[in-house]
Structure 1
C-alpha cells in the first residue's frame, strides 16, 4: 500500500532528511558544528518548537516531528552503529592491553564523579537515595559525541575511550542497582544477569571467530555491496539482540560485533560501507536530544540551570584531570580530556528514567536534570574547542596529534604483478600494504605472509582510509585501465607529491595515465618487447653489460616519447617545445 502524504512516517522522514541534506550543510557553510546544528534542528521542529503551532498552522505538520517517540529507535540505532564502528577500530589484543585504563582509570573516574556530584546534591537538600541516583546518572559522559571528536588513539583519545568504554559496560549494573534501591530488583537478579551476560558475551566472541569469516567470504565472492552491507547489519543486530536478551545494553553487543569483525580480513570494507548509515543515524539521535529542549522552561529557570550545568562540568573536569595526572598524562592532554568528559551523556537520560521509575527522584526533578543533560550535550562541541585552546596554552604540543608513521608503499591489486612488486620491496627492506578485491587471492597471500587487505578500490571512501597522505608510493597493478586512470586522478588531486607508478596495457593507456598524473607508467607491451630483445642479444653473444645499457637507454627514450604523447593532448604547445628539444638532443 502506498504511503500517505499525511502519514507520520512520511512527515518525520521529510524533516530528518531535510535536516541532513539542507540545514546541516547550511550550518557547515557558516562554520557551525554539525552536532550543534542537529540539536538546534531538533529544538526547532520538536514539540516545544514549531510543534506548538501546528494547530494554528496545519502546513507546519510537514516541518515538525509529530511523534518524537517514533524516531527514538533510530536514535538508538545511531548509538549502536557508533559503538560498532569503535569496535572495528579495535582488536581483542588491543582491548586487553588497555584493561588497566578501562577498569582502573575508568572505574575511578565514574566512582569519584558520582560520589562528588551525589555529595554536593545531598548537601543541597536532596534525599540520599535521590542524590545517589543523580550522582551515577550525571557522572556518565557522552560516547556518541566525544569519541568522534577524539578517536581512540593519542594522548586524549586513548584515555577518553577507556573511560567511556567502562561507563558503557557499567550502564546495566547501574540500572539494576537503582532498581534494587527502589525495590524493583534484588542482588540475586543482578548476579544472575551478570552471569548470563558473561556467557552471552563469550558465546558471541566464539561465534564471531568461526562464523563471521565464512559469512563475509560468501558476500565478498558475490561482488555485491548490498550483500556486504546486509551481512554487516545482520551481525550488529544479532549481537545487540543477544546482549539485550541477556539484560545487558545493546551497545555492548554492537561493540563485540565490531571487535569480532576487526579480527577478520573484511574490516576496512565493512567500515567504509556502513559509514553513511552511521552518520545519519547519529544525526537522528542528536535531533531527539534537541527535541527535549523546552526553551520556555529554560528561560524561566535559567539561573538554576546555569548553576547545575557549570557545577557538574567543573566537578567532572577536576576528577578526570587529577586522575590522568596521577598516571603521568601531560597537563595539556589531561585538561583537554577532562573538559571533553565534563558534559552528561545520552545514557544519563536512560539512568534518570530508571531512577524516576524506581521512585528515587520525582518527575519534576528528572525533567530538570534531563534539561541539564540536553544543554550539556549541546555545549560539548564548544567545550572541545575550548579544551583544545586551553591545552595549547598550557602545553604547546598537547593538542597536536602524534606524527603518523608511514604506511610504506601501497599496492592496489595483488595478482602476479602485485606479488612480484611486493617480493622486490621485501627484498630491499621496504614496508608495503597491498589491497585486493578477490577474497580468495587475499586469503592465499595472507597464508604466504603478505600484508594484504581485502577491499574494493573502486570505492572512494575505502581509498580515503588507506592514509595515502602518509604513504611512500602508490603502485597500481590491477588489470582495469579505466579504474587505474580514475584512481590516479583522484589521488593526484589529493596528494600532489605522492609517487604513483601504474601498470599500463599499452602505450596509449600509458599516455592516458601520464595525463592523469602518474609519476611513471609501465606498458606491458613495451616491457615484453624489451625483455625479448635482451634475450635475443644475449643469445647472439653480445656482452651482458652493453645489452643492459642499451635496454635501459631504449626504455628511457620510449618513456620520454610516451610522456610527450600524453602532454601533446593535454598541453600541445608545451609538448611541441619538449619534442623539439628532444629531437635537437638526438641531432635531428
Structure 2
C-alpha cells in the first residue's frame, strides 16, 4: 500500500509540474505529459515494475475518450460524413498501409509481418491530435474537421484489422502462445482453441452484441438507475457501461476503445447522453494524462542507443511518408493554405492503437519480439514529436503569404455613414440605420456574407475594411460617422487608430470584445465604444431583478444606474490601465477597481429602500418583454 501511494504521488507530482511548464512554454499539455513520463522512466529510473499494470489502467483514458467521441456522433451524423470517412479517411488508411507494406517487403520482411506493420503504421494518434486540436481551437477549421474524419475512419478501421490479423498467424501459433501463457480464464482458453476464421466470427459477434445491448438494454437499465436520483449511482452506471464493454472486447481480443466508441455512437441519441458525458469527463481527463505519462515512461532507450541513427531514420521516414500521402490527399480533396498544412502535419505520426495492434500481433506470433520493440519505439517517438509538428504548423502559418482571393468590389457611391463589418453585430446596426431612412456604405471581407446581404436587398461591398485604399474609396475623407463592427480585436483597434490619424474630426463608434479591449480603443481614439455583450447582459440582469421581488420600474432604474456608472468607471479605469502589464501585476488598477465597485454597490443598494423577499404577481413583467428579447 505504501509503495502504491508513493508511486501515485510521484506521477501526480510530475504531472502538476511538467504540464503547466510545457503549456506556458507553448508546447501544449500532451508534450508536458510525455516529458514527465520520460523524466520518471528512462531518465531517472523512478518507475518500477508497476509500469505495465499502470499502462493497462491508463489505457482507460483512451477508452473513455472514444466513448465520449461516440456520444457526439449520432448515426445520422456519421452518414452525413460518409464522403470524408470513406473517401479521405479510407484512402489514407489503404494508401499508407500499402506504402508501408511495400517498404517492409523491400527490407526483406515476410509478407505477414509486412502487412501487420502496414496496418500498425497506417494509424495516427487520436488521443494526442484531438486533444491538441481542442486546446488550440482548431477542431472547427476545415483542416481540423478533415483530420477528425480521418481519425474516426482509422478508429473504425481497427475493428477489421484486429478481426483479420489472426488470419495472418502461422498454423499452431496460437497453440504455442497458449502453452507459454499457462493457465488462464476459461473463456480465453476457449477462444484460443478456435481456428482463425472462428476468432474472426466471434469478434464480429462481440461487436454486434455491443450494438444490440446499446439499443435494447442500456436505456431501460439507465431509466431504472435514474429513479434512485443519486449522482454517485449514475456515475457508477456510466463507469459500469465503459468497463463492462472494455472487458468484453479484451476477452475476444478486440480494442476496448473501439467497443466503447461503438457504444457511444449507439447511445448518441439517448436522452441520457449529456449525463453520461458529465459523469465520464473527469475520469477521462485524468486518465488521458496518465496514459501519455506511461507512453513517455515506457520508451525503451536501450533499443534506441543500440541503433540511434537507424531509429531516427525510421521515424523520419514514417513521418515523411505519411505526410506525403496526407498532402496529396489534401490537394485532391481541395484543402488549401493553413488547412492543408494542419491536416498534413497533424496526422503524420503513428498512434496509440499501434501499441494494441503490436501486442496482438506478438501474441499471434505475427511479429518477432525484436521487430516489435523497434516498432514500439518508432510509434512512441513519432507520438513524442507530434506537439512539435503542431508548433511547426503555426510557424508555417505565420510565414505563409496569403493566397490571392477575389478582387475587392469597386465602390460606386459614398455615403455619410461607413459600416466596417457586417457579421451578427454589424447587420443589426445596418438594419436599424437604413430602416430609419439613412444611407450607409457597408464593407466586409467575407464574400459569402456580402452575397447573403445582397440576396435580401441590402447593398454592400466586398473588400478588407482595414485597407487604406478601400476606405478612401468608401469616402473616409468626407464621412460623418465610421462604425467599426469587425470580429477580430486587432483589426478593430488597427482600423480605429488609422481612421483617427486620417480624420481627427471623424466620429468613430467601435465594437469592443471585452473591458480590456475598451481601454485599447479608448487610447486608439474611438468616440463611442460598445461592449458587444454588455447591453444584452444588462437586460438579462434586469429580468432577474424583476422576478426576485423588484417592480418593473425599480429594476429598470437600477439597470440605468448600473449602465451609466459602469461606463463612467471604465473611462476612469482606462487612465490607470497599462497595456503591457498583466492586470494582476497592476496594483493601481486593482485598488481603483475595488473602490469603484464599492461605490457602485453603495449607490445601487441605497437607490430603493424597499425590498421584497417574494415576487409580487402584480409586478411581473409583461409577456412582450420576453418577445422583445427573442
Shift, 1:269, TM fit: 4.2
Q: Distance in 1 between the 2:58 and 2:515 partners?
A: 38
Match of 2:58 in 1: 75
Contact 2:342–2:390 (CA<8 Å) still a contact in 1? yes
The equivalences for 1:232-247 within 5 A come to 232-245=238-251, 247=253
Q: Are 1:10 and 2:5 an aligned pair?
A: yes
Contact 1:86–1:255 (CA<8 Å) still a contact in 2? yes
Contact 1:325–1:331 (CA<8 Å) still a contact in 2? no
Choose which of 350, 360, 367 in structure 2 pairs with 1:361.
Answer: 367
Choose which of 38, 49, 58 in structure 1 pairs with 2:43.
Answer: 49
Q: 1:206 to 1:581 in 2, by over 3 A?
A: closer
Match of 1:311 in 2: 317
Q: Distance in 1 between the 2:226 and 2:88 partners?
A: 39
Q: 1:556 to 1:111 in 2, by over 3 A?
A: closer
The equivalences for 1:75-154 within 5 A come to 75-150=58-133, 153-154=140-141
Q: Are 1:33 and 2:33 an aligned pair?
A: no
Q: 1:397 to 1:256 in 2, by over 3 A?
A: farther
Match of 1:203 in 2: 212
Contact 2:31–2:384 (CA<8 Å) still a contact in 1? yes
- Let me know the Cα RMSD of the aligned residues: 4.2
The equivalences for 1:163-182 within 5 A come to 163-182=150-169
Deviations 1:300-332 (A, max 9, x none): 422111210111111111212222322333353
Match of 2:198 in 1: 189
Provide the secondary structure at the position in 2 that maps to 1:64: coil
Match of 1:345 in 2: 351
Deviations 1:226-266 (A, max 9, x none): 33322322222233334445553211232133334432344
Deviations 1:14-54 (A, max 9, x none): 222222333323433444422122222222222x4323xxx
The equivalences for 1:207-356 within 5 A come to 207=216, 210-211=219-220, 214-215=223-224, 217-218=226-227, 222=229, 224-245=230-251, 247-356=253-362
| Deviates most, 320-329 or 209-218 | 209-218
Provide the secondary structure at the position in 1 that maps to 2:165: helix
* TM-score (structure 2 length as normaliser): 0.61
Q: Distance in 2 between the 1:341 and 1:71 partners?
A: 27
Q: 1:555 to 1:498 in 2, by over 3 A?
A: closer
Q: Distance in 2 between the 1:266 and 1:106 partners?
A: 30
Shift, 1:280, TM fit: 1.1
Q: Distance in 1 between the 2:51 and 2:112 partners?
A: 30
Deviations 1:497-535 (A, max 9, x none): 524878xxxxxxxxxx99xx946653347666x6xxxxx
Deviations 1:161-212 (A, max 9, x none): 2222222223243234333222248552254135414521431331367326
Match of 2:473 in 1: none
The equivalences for 1:469-480 within 5 A come to none
Match of 1:158 in 2: 145
Q: Distance in 2 between the 1:96 and 1:125 partners?
A: 41
Q: Distance in 2 between the 1:395 and 1:90 partners?
A: 36
Choose which of 372, 376, 383 in structure 2 pairs with 1:370.
Answer: 376
Contact 1:216–1:266 (CA<8 Å) still a contact in 2? no
Contact 2:163–2:199 (CA<8 Å) still a contact in 1? yes
* TM-score (structure 1 length as normaliser): 0.64
The runs of 5 or more residues in structure 2 that have no matched partner are: 175-193, 405-421, 426-513, 519-530, 570-593, 609-630
Number of aligned residue pairs: give it.
Answer: 440
Contact 1:501–1:521 (CA<8 Å) still a contact in 2? no
Q: Distance in 2 between the 1:397 and 1:148 partners?
A: 29
Match of 1:498 in 2: 533
Q: Distance in 2 between the 1:215 and 1:579 partners?
A: 49
Match of 1:481 in 2: none
Provide the secondary structure at the position in 1 that maps to 2:545: strand
Contact 2:311–2:378 (CA<8 Å) still a contact in 1? yes
Shift, 1:379, TM fit: 0.5
